[in-house]
A and B are shown apart, each in its own frame.
Chain A
Amino acid sequence: MTTWLIKGARACGGDPADILIHDGIIATPDGQGEAQVIDADGLIALPGLVDLHTHLREPGREDAETVETGTQAAALGGYTAVHAMANTDPVADTAGVVEQVWRLGRQAGHCDVQPVGAVTAGLQGARLAELGAMADSAARVRVFSDDGHCVSDARLMRRALEYVKAFDGVIAQHAQEPRLTEGAQMNEGEVSGRLGLAGWPAAAEESVIARDCLLAAHVGSALHVCHVSTAGSVEIIRWAKSKGWRVTAEVTPHHLLLTDDLVEGYDPVYKVNPPLRTKADVTALRNGLADGTIDCVATDHAPHPLEHKETEWETAAFGMTGLETALRVVQHAMVDTGLLGWADVADRMSLRPARIARLAGQGNQLEPGAPASLTLYDPTPREAVDPASHASKSRNSPFTGMVLPGRVVATFLRGEPTVLDGKLA
């Protein structure tokens, strides 16, 4: 394995220093011999980003993305680990499927793929899936989610929260009360009233989060809230944390920046679940991420083929890509606005997600002895987002054409480069 010397990088935004990578870990210089040098003048070094929420689509929807292309996209976005959600076809509700996804990730080699197991069999919301088998499998699943669907049955959610205590698992809930959101198309508010689109009320998210926090507290388990999207949800999570309950939460980059008035042209590139909300919600989410109420940024990268987005709004698929734009959007919305420093970015996009996922070997500070999984990021360039240049198979990015700062220059996974000079290594 090559030895690498990264010269003059600002680790987590600190003073420029050298980082030596030897034998897959960060080393102190000690006569290790010849090193390949990377001039990192002006670059920020961050621990490899960890995404708690990605859709790799394989098995079943390889027309939209594969593990290969999705992990390439992840590496180009500075990620060294992604959690692949279970709503594949077949659903990842057995040891067999999660091990398949895990193996595909190892074969591709661009980043670690940690499969997420379904909470209920077939995502049907009726019976628990074999959570224990998935936990014991080679994939060592710890995060379980029916994402795409809400575990809405209160009793089933309680049982799931209880059951995973046996192997230190965590249930990640997609909070969406189905009875309040039947046929919903966009945030319920002033814009939806004008546009004549069925509304997705904030209360449908908040009521489920409140219930789940209470349940998690009651049974002494851990709850993770996926893609928080409303100001009310942030308040509820803040309240739950103040009680000392084991609740964690994530927010997507698009919910930190985009609002529901973008729907006015009925362009389905803006159709997502949970939907884009109001300016007040965006502000509350940013403040929540800044003060740590929201623990981390998770992309909810949701690739879709052209024919599912180039259609009338109602029949279009929900979802936006996000792996390759995440860090840039976070810089734009949080760092350049003074809400987060780079050390905080490392915390929200690497350290905390790795802890929540119980993922050893990822999300470590850039210190000697730590695995050399890191990313080098140049915050200075400003360029328009062009999905045609993305590694992802799909082009449904809501940031298309938007000028955003920053560029991932290099990504290392346990000492091996996955991205060099902004391109796949």
Chain B
Amino acid sequence: MIRHLISAGDLTRDDALLILDTADELARVADRPIKKLPTLRGRTVVNLFFEDSTRTRISFEAAAKRLSADVINFSAKGSSVAKGESLKDTAMTLEAMGADAVVVRHSAAGAPHRLANWVRGSVVNAGDGAHEHPTQALLDAFTMRRRLGGTVTGQGLDGLRVTIVGDILHSRVARSNVLLLSTLGAEVTLVAPPTLFPVEIGGWPCATGYDLDAALSKTDVVMMLRVQRERMNAAYFPSEREYSRRYGLDAARMALLPEHAIVMHPGPMNRGVEIAAEVADGARSTIVEQVANGVSVRMAVLYLLLGGLEPAQPATTAPPAATRGVSA
């Protein structure tokens, strides 16, 4: 693995499998009386959250603490950033505090890339604008593997059919998932109204379509993305009602899914818009376990980046894919 985790595209298949297998082992920590491992004792992990996100921040915090790391939380509201301090100055402050890892969530795509120029530690992207959210994709893949693939060490998602539905254009979850799932051998299909697709998507390693019903009968996983009301005001779709009718997963559409298929959602959900309440709470929904899996996967990422002298090298590594977008 390289020093930073900024894009899911930075991970080779071996890197990704190493993370998933490690997360499998670390998941058991949750079942122990003492939910702690000493491995990152003395390491400092900074949660640098410029965007509000209690759920993701708590997940990273729990992951770091279970590995005995020290956690410093920095949220933009009410901080020096709110008073106009630049990203660079914030980074310099963290450097001075000796951060071994900076977990950063920012509304601007590319913020982790800038940060990587200014800090010596590892940068973990917890979501940068519409660009990527690699640990979300990792926990999604982990969930799919557990539910549908068994936990054979070293096994990928080859041949698994995954359909992702929603605002692809603005979704960092979609981008990271497309990259990671195709690396792991899954077949990905994206479904959305035409306005919510990027204009030139032909080069992406996935299929695309406008028709949700056609896609549902041929998929093993359906992942619903949150759709924001503001998009309606910018004319991406006429109304929530029409969006829900054409692209929402309700009980009727559930019947189109194969028996074994699972329903996923990165959260937070708009119940009644992209996903019906009874679907979200149904047995085939993985939404709750995705949260628990998030902690295991983030523990794996932090361990593999910080647990040794350098980030882990999987046993059968080919040189990692060209680190697109990361300046050293």
Instruction: Name A residues whose Cβ lies closer than 8 Å to a Cβ of B.
Output: 188-190, 192-197, 199, 201, 264-267, 307, 310-315
Complex Cα gap A205–B248 (Å): 36
CA distance A310 to B109 in the complex (A): 15
A243 to B192, CA, bound (A): 44
Candidates B88, B110, B204, B327; contact of A313 at CB < 8 Å: B110
A164→B88 CA distance, assembly (Å): 47
Choose among B106, B199, B327 the residue that contacts A267 (Cβ–Cβ < 8 A). B327
A310–B201 Cα distance when bound, in Å, is 30
- What's the minimum C-beta distance from A267 to chain B, rounded to whole angstroms? 7
A23-B172 Cα distance, complex, nearest whole Å: 66
Q: In the complex, which residues of chain A have a beta carbon less than 8 angstroms from the beta carbon of B201?
A: 193
Contact of A266 with B199 at beta-carbon distance under 8 Å, contacts A196-B129, A196-B132, A311-B88 already known: no
Q: Please give the distance in Å from A265's CB to the nearest CB on chain B.
A: 5
Which chain A residues border B324 with CB–CB below 8 Å? 264
Residues of B within 8 A of A (CB): 86-88, 106-111, 113-114, 128-132, 170, 172, 175, 198-204, 324-327
Which of B109, B114, B327 is A195 in contact with, Cβ under 8 Å? B109
Contacts of A312 on B, CB cut-off 8 Å? Answer: 87, 106, 108, 110-111, 114
Contact B131 A196 (CB under 8 A): yes
Instruction: Name, among B110, B111, B131, B325, the residue most crowded by chain A CB atoms within 10 Å (CB to CB).
Output: B110
- Give the nearest-CB partner of B88 in chain A: A310
Complex interface: chain B residues within 8 A of A201 (CB):
199
The CA of A393 and the CA of B128, in the complex, are separated in Å by: 32
- Please, which residue of chain B has its CB at the minimum distance from the CB of A191? B200
The interface residues of chain A lying within 8 Å CB-to-CB of B200 are 189-190, 193
Q: Given A189-B199, A196-B172, is A266 in contact with B86 using a C-beta cutoff of 8 Å?
A: no
| Contact, CB under 8 Å: B108 / A313 | yes
Query: Are B175 and A311 in contact (CB-based, < 8 A)?
Result: no
Bound: A195/B198 CA distance, A:
11
| In the complex, chain A residues whose CB is within 8 Å of the CB of B204 | 193-194
Q: Which B residues touch A314, using CB under 8 A?
A: 107-110, 129
Within the assembled complex, what's the spacing in Å between the Cα atoms of A190 and B131? 13
**Most-contacted residue by chain B among A189, A197, A265, A310 (CB, 10 A):** A265
B129 proximity list for chain A (CB < 8 A)? 196-197, 314
Residue of A189, A193, A199 with most partner-chain B CB within 10 A: A193
Q: Whole-angstrom distance from the CB of A207 to the nearest CB of chain B?
A: 16
Q: Chain B residues with Cβ under 8 A from A193's Cβ?
A: 198-201, 204
Q: CB-CB < 8 A to A313: which residues of B?
A: 108-110, 114
- CB within 8 Å for A192 and B198 given contacts A267-B327, A311-B114: yes
Contact call B114/A266, Cβ cutoff below 8 A: yes
**9 A–B contact pairs at CB < 8 A?**
A189-B199, A193-B200, A195-B109, A196-B132, A196-B175, A197-B131, A265-B327, A307-B86, A313-B110
Given the complex, which residues of A lie within 8 Å of B109, measured CB to CB? Answer: 195-197, 266, 313-314
Is B88 within 8 A of A265, CB to CB? Answer: no
- Smallest CB separation, B266 vs chain A (Å): 15
In the assembly, what is the distance between CA of A167 and CA of B254, in Å?
Answer: 71
CA A35 to CA B199, docked complex, whole Å: 64
A265-B326, A313-B108, A313-B109 known; A195 vs B131 contact (CB < 8 Å): yes
Neighbouring A residues of B130 by C-beta, 8 Å: 196-197
Across the A-B interface, the 6 shortest Cβ-Cβ residue pairs? A266-B110, A193-B198, A196-B130, A196-B131, A312-B108, A314-B108
Would you give the shortest CB distance from B126 to chain A, in whole angstroms? 15
Nearest CB of chain B from residue A404's CB, rounded to whole Å = 22
Chain B residues lying within 8 Å of A190, measured Cβ to Cβ, are 200, 202-203
Q: How far is the CA of A266 from the CA of B129 in the complex (A)?
A: 12
Contact of B325 among A192, A199, A265, A310 (CB under 8 A): A265
Smallest Cβ distance from B144 to chain A, in angstroms? 23
> Please, which residue of chain A has its CB at the minimum distance from the CB of B174?
A196
Given A188-B199, A195-B325, A196-B132; A266-B113 close (CB under 8 Å): yes
Q: Which of B113, B170, B198 contacts A265 (CB 8 A)?
A: B113
Report B137 CB to chain A, min CB distance, Å. 14
B172 touches A266 (CB 8 A): no
Cβ contacts under 8 Å, A199 to chain B: 198-199
> B123 CB to closest chain A CB, in angstroms?
13
